[in-house]
Amino acid sequence: MFLLLGRYTATPDQVDPHRDGHVAWVQDHVARGHFLAGALEEGGVGGAIVARAASREEVEAWTREDPFIAEGVFAYDIRAYEVAFTTPGVEGLAE
């Protein structure tokens, strides 16, 4: 499992033109089963995505396709975790 912790690196005026593209990128990865959950950070400074992938390299390749990254208005800190337990309904995290 991977946790993508993201932070805006630009002003809202610089970010907003790329928001629709970013949302479409997220929705595409949700539809493919790559992204399992997402959240916006309090204060509007960034967000987090829980992802399932075979490798860090795969996740890094996905992030390079994010319009926020391509436009230089966002940065990800990608962290890898080995799932220790799950609750009913989220067993897929361990796959």
pLDDT at residue 93, as a whole number: 64
pLDDT tens for each residue of 19-71: 999 999 999 999 999 999 999 999 989 999 999 999 999 999 999 999 999 99
pLDDT at 87: 83
pLDDT value of position 95: 64
- pTM listed for this prediction: 0.89
Q: Taking CA 69 as the corner, what is the angle to CA 67 and CA 74, rounded to the nearest 5 degrees?
A: 115
The CATH homologous superfamily for domain 16-75 is Dimeric alpha+beta barrel (3.30.70.1060)
Domain ranges of the chain: 16-75
Report d(CA 48, CA 4) in Å as an integer.
5
* Predicted confidence (pLDDT) per residue in 76-92, tens digit: 999 999 988 888 877 66
